[in-house]
Amino acid sequence: MDLQLTGTTAVVTGASRGIGLAITQALIAEGVRVVAGARTVTPHMQAHGAIALAADLTTPDGPASFIERAQAELGGIDLLVNNLGGGGDNEHPATFLTSTDEQWEEIFGLNFFSMVRTTRAALPSLLERGGSVINFSSMSSRIPHTAPLPYASAKGAVNTFSKGLAEEYGPQGVRVNTISPGAVLTEQWAGPDGFGAQLAAARGIPLEQLLREIPAEMGATIGQFADPSDVGALVAYLASPLAAAIHGADYTINAGAIKTV
């Protein structure tokens, strides 16, 4: 299927690995010129033809500087994919009472304020070109007990921000949607130093056993992880003219883990 994206431009944050890298690859395969941003540029980011830029989007000035450089490379932005996020560098709090202000601030800075600032910087170009924004939330925003509370709360804020942005700028031609993945088989789960390895060690079981058990434990009806390429394909579709009437929506990729209507 031709998604009619050839010659358009995109900026993808958090693009050095996992979902962000899969999104970058999917867009480039559709003929999109992509600026891929990450704190550290890796060879994988450039292997498929992306313009890789190093940027720390958790700083107050980082997003504006990054978008300015991206626009200089692309000439304008048709699509912004705010994929950057995660659990941060600090150890996850076991309970709300064990969480600290520093942990909450770090998680919100990484998952929410980086998105707000990056979107603010890119919006003039998106308005000029009738562009699109795709923000990444999480299944945890709807089922908070599946993640540490600071992370789930930050993703809930992403949903509210995205809905408000859609309402304000939809009439001016900018589409805004969110994607809320569940368990996706990235390095975060499968890598030797990722969250999955830490969780397996805490449970005293091999990582391979954890990866077999986690999807069902998280309520995945079909009992499996999503693949990063599944997410990349959805981003490409939502960015395309074929999805012109999809606006203000939240798409979940969670293998059936969310049971509510």
> What is d(CA 108, CA 157) in angstroms, rounded to the nearest whole number?
9
Task: Specify whether 151 is catalytic.
Answer: yes
- Which one of 151, 169, 237, 251 is the catalytic residue? 151
Backbone angles phi, psi at 71, to 5 degrees: -65, -35
Is 155 exposed, middle or buried, given 0-12, 13-18 or 19+ CB atoms closer than 10 A? buried
> What is d(CA 2, CA 82) in angstroms, rounded to the nearest whole number?
24
> What is d(CA 225, CA 189) in angstroms, rounded to the nearest whole number?
10
Output the DSSP codes for 245-259. Answer: T--S-EEEESTT---
The token duo for 73 is 């490379």
Amino acid at 27: L
- Tokens 């313009």 correspond to 51
Backbone angles phi, psi at 82, to 5 degrees: -85, 85
Q: How far is CA 59 from CA 19, 52, 64, 195, in A?
A: 22, 19, 10, 24
Just list the catalytic residues.
Answer: 151
